[in-house]
Amino acid sequence: SDIYKSGDRVLVGGIKGDVIDVGILRTTIMEIGGWVDGDLYNGRIVRIANSFVFKEPVYNYSADFPFLWDEVKVPVRFGSNYERARVMLYEAADEVVGRYSKEAEKNWDQMVKKYLIEHAQTKPLVLMVANDNWVEFTVRYVVDYKKRLGVKDELFSHILKKVESSQDVALASATFELVSAPTIDIKSATSNKDR
């Protein structure tokens, strides 16, 4: 079938995983997710009747464009240097996923020609929005579909190192600082006998 082949990562019949065998009647998938976080194998091998292919949508993560867009959100404390924060996030993204964006751009150009779809940015993009608690930066990037979780971990490591070595960018947290009450100086009422 043209829909998927062995080695492809798919979501079919509500099951997400890597195709390990395509038979005449059924497809065998090594499942990912479920009770484990992220795109990791959970050890369950699932056989799905090929009739599902005609009843439900099949998502193939690896067919013509073997990349996914993913993003991380970074809360930055109000009063930080936002331009510096943006530069740091672009630097971290380039260090970690720069290699994917160059490769993805070539693949995407072929997709545009083949399917007449719009051109999409494959270079990392940093977006900023302010909410009630902090300034939230979103780093959007493309990544090899099989390396999504590891890349996210690596990207956060690079971001945290840059923030920790920075003097003017601080991460925000949901912990609330209580304003301390002013100290009260209590003087005991002593007698003035000694005067």
* pLDDT digits 0-9 by tens, 103-121: 999 999 988 888 888 889 9
| Domain ranges for the chain | 9-60, 67-164
Residue type, 12: V
Using the 8-state DSSP alphabet, how is residue 33 labeled?
-
* pLDDT digits 0-9 by tens, 18-31: 999 999 999 999 99
Domains 9-60 and 67-164 share a fold: no
Task: Give the three-class secondary structure for 138.
Answer: strand
pLDDT for the residue 161: 98
- As given in the structure block, the two tokens for residue 114 are 């083949």
Classify the phi-psi angles of 177: left when phi > 0, otherwise alpha if psi is within -120 to 50, otherwise beta: beta
* pLDDT digits 0-9 by tens, 123-168: 999 999 999 999 999 999 999 988 998 999 999 999 999 999 999 9
CATH fold group of domain 67-164: Alpha-Beta Plaits (3.30.70)
Q: Which residues pair with 29 in a beta bridge?
A: 19, 46
* pLDDT digits 0-9 by tens, 53-69: 888 889 999 888 889 99
Strand order in the sheet with 26-32: 41-49, 26-32, 15-22, 9-12, 59-60
- The CATH code of domain 9-60 reads 2.30.30
